[in-house]
Amino acid sequence: MFFVHGLGAMCAGFVTTMITPPWPGVPFELACPRGTQQHECARLQGHMPTCHEPEKDTQEVLNSFLAHCNWPGQSCAYVDIGCNIGYFAMHAAMLGASVRCYEPTPFFTMAIRESLRLAPSEVAGRVVVENVAVVPSAERAPPSLNFSYAYSACHIGRRAIRQHVARYGHWTTPTLAMSKLVVSKSPITLLKVDIDHNEGELLHHVIDLLASGEAHIDTILVELGDNRASRAGCAPSHATCKQASTLRGGSLRDVWRLQHELNYTAYRVNIHTAREIFGWRGDNLNLNHMAPAHPGLKPLFGVRMMRKLELLKRSLPLEQYATGELFAWGQSFLFTRQQLLERARHHSIDVAFVGLIASREPLNAGMEEAVLPRADVEVQA
Ligand SMILES: *[C@@H]1O[C@H](CO)[C@@H](O)[C@H](O)[C@H]1NC(C)=O
Ligand SMILES: *[C@@H]1O[C@H](CO)[C@@H](O)[C@H](O)[C@H]1NC(C)=O
């Protein structure tokens, strides 16, 4: 291979593509794992109808919680467990967050290091990448794990993985206990856990560390939905749906504790939770096949940069959590101590015109459901 100035990335065996995340995300150059072809890497620009990655809801969450990180005097920490080839790690770093990115697939972490080499030095300087497998506790996990599979977004990186596995059978990655990476005096702004495996079990350990005051985390985004039966759409009363009481190794009680003991507000965040199909104008094109509304969820629209959230009502008793409808397969949850909602306001003439004042209909009725039980947060009806 010969070196051509400016094509260093190609010579090193990496193809790259320019990524422009949704506003106010900042563009960056992303390297794909060795063996990826240019047109495959370009799928991550998000224009391919056949490729749903990068997940729109995660992009919206990053923009909603990290948009201020570049402002003077701000310091943000983004921790990504299962950071794959680093798309969201780069997105967060470009927004100004300090990033810690944990990924067990070496072909992926090598690509992230290449993305960092191409990034502005002040951006690269605030990203730490570790090729480790995060495990719930050090006592019960071996010091390393063998892998022969990794989820490859839009098949990116699959070739390198298959070639390696055909030749060597597996690769070995050291493990790192969850506590090692969340226990700290300095707070984590946003923790994202998406490893398609035991997210619930990891969350369970995080909750214990939050309760004991060893960890400080403002917002958690975690893929929890575990009930495959519900993907096909089963009624909440159906036995299979009711059985979905383990959440990827965690429990429904964990979610309840976050809300009721640790004062987080819980939202379901997947933008298609009720099967909405948003068109470019922002309207829902699915008119006839919406999922039935669950009484424990309150739909919310246009919260920060997130098109749709569903508030998990604080008043919902734990016994009613045990339904596949609430924690359906693949769905993500957002737990935050941020007050996300703003009081609705309208011009008094408009409000009077539609008769809202006359009927004393409050614009902010029911908002207390979504307000954290903290003295410093106040909502007047
Ligand atoms: C991983 O594979 C190696 C062989 O390459 C084996 O010696 C080791 O016991 C395996 N580790 C685990 C945790 O299974
Ligand atoms: C949760 O809120 C309650 C009521 O304001 C407060 O007494 C309690 O200390 C809070 N707990 C935590 C962990 O913040």
Cβ atoms within 10 Å, residue 367: 18
**What is the sign of the dihedral through the CA atoms of 186, 63, 253 and 311?**
positive
Measure 295 CA to ligand 2 centroid, in angstroms: 26
Q: State the DSSP code for 33.
A: P
Cα 243 from Cα 255, distance rounded (Å): 16
- Is the C-beta atom of 145 inside 6 A of ligand 1? yes
pLDDT, residue 11, reads 45
pLDDT, residue 1, reads 35
Q: Is 245 left (phi over 0), alpha (psi -120 to 50) or beta?
A: alpha
Measure 145 CA to ligand 1 centroid, in angstroms: 7
Measure 146 CA to ligand 1 centroid, in angstroms: 6
> Peptide bond before 24: cis, by omega within 30 degrees of 0?
yes
- Is the C-beta atom of 377 inside 6 A of ligand 2? no
Q: Which atom of ligand 2 is nearest to the CA of 375?
A: 5
pLDDT, residue 322, reads 67
What are the sequence ranges of the domains in the chain? Answer: 7-370
Ligand nearest to the CA of 263: 2
Cα 110 from Cα 88, distance rounded (Å): 16
The full DSSP string for 110-142 is HHHHHHHHHS-HHHHTTEEEE--EEES-TTTS-
pLDDT, residue 249, reads 85
> By C-alpha distance, which of 187, 9, 183, 18 is closest to 94?
18
- Is the C-beta atom of 142 inside 6 A of ligand 1? yes
3-state DSSP percent of the chain in helix, strand and coil, to 5? 30, 20, 50
Copy the structure tokens of residue 274: 């009720």
Copy the structure tokens of residue 363: 């614009």
Query: pTM (2 decimals)?
Result: 0.90
Q: Which fold has domain 7-370?
A: Rossmann fold (3.40.50)
Q: Indicate which residue's Cα is closest to atom 11 of ligand 2.
A: 262
pLDDT, residue 355, reads 79
Copy the structure tokens of residue 337: 């101590």
Residue 221 sits at φ, ψ, to 5 deg, of -115, 120
Ligand nearest to the CA of 257: 2
Beta bridge partners of 297: 312
Mean pLDDT per segment of 10 residues, for the chain of length 381 residues?
Answer: 37 86 97 95 86 91 98 97 98 98 98 98 98 93 96 93 97 96 95 91 96 97 71 46 64 93 92 81 90 87 93 90 76 93 85 73 78 53 38
Q: Judging by beta carbons within 10 Å of its beta carbon (0-12, 13-18, 19+), is residue 238 exposed, middle or buried?
A: middle
State how far the alpha carbon of 200 is from the alpha carbons of 23, 81, 136, 227, 362, in Å: 31, 13, 10, 13, 38
The full DSSP string for 278-343 is B-TTS-B---S-PPPPPTTEEEEEEETTEEEEEEE-TTS-GGGG--TTTSBTT-EEEEESS-----
Measure 225 CA to ligand 2 centroid, in angstroms: 27
pLDDT, residue 58, reads 95
pLDDT, residue 246, reads 67
State how far the alpha carbon of 325 is from the alpha carbons of 81, 240, 295, 330, in Å: 26, 11, 10, 12
pLDDT, residue 114, reads 98
